[in-house]
Amino acid sequence: MKNCRLSWSLVTVLAIVVAIFSYKFTVGNVAPSDDGRQAVLLSKDERNALLLEMRTWLQSSQGILAAASENNFDEVVRSATASGMGAEATTPGSLFRKLPVEMKALGFDTRRKFDDIAADAGKSKDKGRVVAKLSVAMNNCIACHAMYRFVETD
């Protein structure tokens, strides 16, 4: 009887811990912001990593446009790949845990869109398609910046 009570107690405690972690994973580390967006609260290193990622996306976008304008599809592929899913491995786990689930979804979708640009440019060699796909991908950037701001804590 005591073993049964102990087992149920452990199950209850574990369920509570899982629920708390699930909630934090979904909501992220956010607070209301005075400009109507959500403030994502990050350490200095996490904020710097996120800003570096966004600069890389911007550099990739410019590289894609410049290369497409010159019909240099090998460079389009290289620039797009730099911001694809392969680059996700460099994202710190602590940063990932603090982002709200909607922002994570936008980030993954943006990386997949860069991978799609790379794959399509390598096959089609059509600069119109490359520019159209990049335009769609950049809507994610606009959406994210409209919803979130990144505040350094600590």
User: Over the stretch 64-101, which tens digit does the pLDDT of each residue have?
Assistant: 999 999 999 999 999 999 999 999 888 888 888 899 99
pTM across the whole model: 0.82
- pLDDT at residue 23 greater than cutoff 80: no
Contact present, 130 and 120 (Cβ < 8 Å): yes
Q: Looking at 9-13, 36-40, 108-112, 130-134, which range is the least confident one?
A: 9-13
Confidence at 14, pLDDT banded by 50, 70, 90: low
How do 30-32 and 38-42 pair as beta strands? antiparallel
- Higher-confidence residue of 117 and 3: namely 117
Contact present, 5 and 65 (Cβ < 8 Å): no
**Domains along the chain?**
29-152 (1.20.120)
Distance CA 25, CA 101 (A): 7
Helix (H, G, I), strand (E, B) or coil at 43: coil
